[in-house]
Amino acid sequence: MLDGRSAIKRRAGLRLWLSGGWLLLIVLAAILAPWISPQDPLAQDLFAARTPPFWEAGSEPGFWLGADSLGRDVLTRILYGARIALIVAFVAGTLTCAVGAALGLIAGYFRGWADRIVSRLVDIWMAFPPVLFAILLIAVLGTGLTSIIIAIVVIDWTRFCRVVRAEAMNQGQMDYVASAQVAGMSRLRTMWAEILPNVLPTIVALLSLEMGIAVIVEAILSFVNLSISTDSPTWGGMIAEGRTSIHQAWWVLVFPLLTLFLTVLSFSQFGEGLKDRFDPVLR
Amino acid sequence: MSADAPLYQVRDLRLSLPDMTSKPLFGPRPRIEILKGLSFDIPKGEVVGIVGGSGSGKSTLGRTLIRLLDPSGGQVIFDGTDISHLHEDALRPMRRRFQMIFQDPMSSLNPRRTVSAIIAAPLKLQGFDRVRERAAEALDHVGLSRSFATRYPHELSGGQRQRVGIARAIATRPDFILADEIVSGLDVSSQAQVLNLLEQLVADLNLTLAFISHDLSVIRRLCTRIIVLRHGEIVENALTPELFGAPQADYTRELLDAIPLPDPDQVWI
């Protein structure tokens, strides 16, 4: 009574390897920044100001990706910037996920008044322009890492909530939920033990996407100088500084931008790849 | 309860649901009557077929019998206890005694659980001992090798999946099983195997069975009594030979005429 169904194996795609590889690189860079950085991220060296990257004429040894207008090493600042970016990505992403997914799961599974309250709240939330909302929040909370994380959670929980609610509703229609009731499982335990594992692939994909979005939001806030103090290099802050000297020193803008772009792209692709890889149901 | 009292006594069972197609500006939605006052008995050990066209309320009736749906009126008396308005907490220990086999095993088996976990779930929740052993015995009963225990539902064929659904239903040794269209998603040879298995189990485990189907030829083979539903009302309730021999209601006759006859001389148009 065996057949080919169990013999099907799926390979981890190129997408998963590429995005995972880049993220691993960024994580290592963030952890090892003090040891692998060629320079001090805050050290100014006016003689080295606007030194171009290593392959261009006039480059200096030790400034691999060039230096900004104050003579600070771009590579070093990107490495240190990864720390802030990743802390925001993981902490804000996880908290956003926890808040949004919990509310979405409850609304989608229990329906009724719980759903009405959560759905109205989401509708109201969606009516605020997100970036302005973030700036307003930071203005109230004051700048700093904690404020950024709170701002991201407060703005973005609706993304999780809506998707998870819809998915929980879908799963709630399935007969395995009814069969759990027939077996005598309580409603709360059914949500936890039956629905949640089936919504998990969606949550994982969304969590990874959210981490990318958190990095972007942090960069936006740094760009408008509402992030953390200028003592800590951030990608958004570097992009803002690079913008002013784009005609004289393009590398100050381009390298952090490229890093940001690849990181955000990797987060979203990694999530999608994980979802494909670990979903046991052949669709 | 005496031995010859019916397992189920259903009295004036009513169920209405809000009409989701209508959205009045003020006040509650109008309600649609799905079950319009049904009364019947299910004697112990009988296999009752519930037939009717789509929308006749047969699935709703079945799900009300095992309280997956709450009736809006009337009584459902299971072995002397009125379960129609029992609170879920009070009902939970009784759920061991009435189980269900679902139409679509792909949907009724949680895709993230192994076969053994699926079959063991009701045993664990109902506080049985020797859970693993009982789950393995249930697999034996439905004719699946014990090596299936570690597999996931998507690794099985349709017929095998439905056997797992049956194994889960019989694991707690219930008195009553509701089978809702359980062969309609299977190919003909799997259908025959599952029906044979069900017949066997009814005899071996002393089950009372309610078998919901739109297919009268399947019902005829399996059931001792047939209830014909139409628009939420009982049109006819008779023993199988009587119903097939001398149908009383026009609707029953229509249904009987719709059965394709396995007659080689029949001209197919």
Contact A182 B112 (CB under 8 A): no
Contact B112 A181 (CB under 8 A): no
The one-character DSSP state at B132 is: H
Which chain B residues are Cβ-neighbours of A180 within 8 angstroms? 121
Which chain A residues are Cβ-neighbours of B154 within 8 angstroms? 5, 280-282
Please state the length of chain B.
269
Closest Cβ opposite residue B100 in set A182, A184, A280: A182
| Residues in CB range of B216: below 8 A, 6 or more apart | B51, B255, B256, B258, B259
> Cα–Cα distance between A159 and A182 in angstroms, integer?
33
The answer, for A7 touching chain B at a CB cutoff of 8 Å, is no
User: Please, is B173 exposed, middle or buried when counting C-beta atoms within 10 Å of its C-beta (0-12, 13-18, 19+)?
Assistant: middle
**CATH code where residue A133 lies:** 1.10.3720.10
Closest Cβ opposite residue A281 in set B99, B126, B154: B154
**The pair of three-digit structure tokens given for residue A175, joined into one six-digit string:** 């007969």
State how far residue A277 is from chain B, nearest Cα, in angstroms.
14
**The pair of three-digit structure tokens given for residue A71, joined into one six-digit string:** 């003579």
Contact B95 A174 (CB under 8 A): no
Contact A178 B108 (CB under 8 A): yes
Instruction: Give domain limits for chain B.
Output: 105-173
Residue A252 reports pLDDT greater than 50: yes
A7 falls within a domain: no
pTM: 0.85
Bigger pLDDT: B231 vs A57: B231
CB B180 within 8 A of CB B101: yes
Contact B154 A280 (CB under 8 A): yes
State how far residue A102 is from chain B, nearest Cα, in angstroms.
20
Residues 66-85 in A contacting B (C-alpha not used; CB under 8 Å): none
Which chain B residues are Cβ-neighbours of A183 within 8 angstroms? 95, 121-122, 125-126, 168
What residues make up the domain containing A269? 13-278
A282: closest chain B residue by CA: B154
Band of the pLDDT at A8, cuts 50, 70, 90?
low
**What 3-state class would DSSP assign to A160?**
helix
State how far residue B80 is from chain A, nearest Cα, in angstroms.
20
Most A CBs within 10 Å, among B20, B108, B177, to test the A interface: B108
**The pair of three-digit structure tokens given for residue A68, joined into one six-digit string:** 């900004």
Closest CA to B53 of B237, B235, B261, B242: B235
Say what the pLDDT of residue A66 is.
87
Contact B99 A5 (CB under 8 A): no
Contact A182 B66 (CB under 8 A): yes
State how far residue A201 is from chain B, nearest Cα, in angstroms.
11
Band of the pLDDT at A50, cuts 50, 70, 90?
confident
Question: What tens-digit pLDDT sequence spans chain B (269 residues)?
Answer: 455 789 999 999 999 988 878 777 787 888 889 999 999 999 999 999 999 988 899 999 999 999 999 999 999 999 999 999 999 999 999 999 999 999 999 899 999 999 999 999 999 999 999 999 999 999 999 999 999 999 999 999 999 999 999 999 999 999 999 999 999 888 889 999 999 999 999 999 999 999 999 888 889 989 999 999 999 999 999 999 999 888 888 898 888 888 776 665 655 55
A283 falls within a domain: no
Closest CA to A42 of A97, A80, A8: A80
Contact B68 A182 (CB under 8 A): yes
A44 falls within a domain: yes
Q: Work out whether strand B81-82 and strand B73-78 pair parallel, antiparallel, or are unpaired.
A: antiparallel
A5 falls within a domain: no
CB B155 within 8 A of CB B163: no
Which chain B residues are Cβ-neighbours of A275 within 8 angstroms? none
Contact A175 B152 (CB under 8 A): no
Contact A176 B93 (CB under 8 A): no
Structure-token match 């090493």, residue found:
A73
A103 falls within a domain: yes
User: What are the C-alpha distances in Å from A108 to residues A117, A189, B37, B49, B102?
Assistant: 12, 15, 33, 35, 23
Q: Find the angle CA(B31)-CA(B61)-CA(B222) to the nearest 5 degrees.
A: 155
Which chain A residues are Cβ-neighbours of B155 within 8 angstroms? 5-6
Q: Work out whether strand B225-230 and strand B47-51 pair parallel, antiparallel, or are unpaired.
A: parallel
Number of structural domains found in chain A: 1
CB B33 within 8 A of CB B14: yes
**What 3-state class would DSSP assign to B101?**
strand
Q: Taking residues A94-120, report their average pLDDT.
A: 95
Structure-token match 């079950």, residue found:
B35
Closest CA to B212 of B97, B109, B66, B61: B61
How much is the CA Rg of chain A, to the nearest whole Å?
A: 23
Angle between the A196-223 and A74-87 helix axes, to the nearest 10 degrees?
140
Contact B155 A197 (CB under 8 A): no
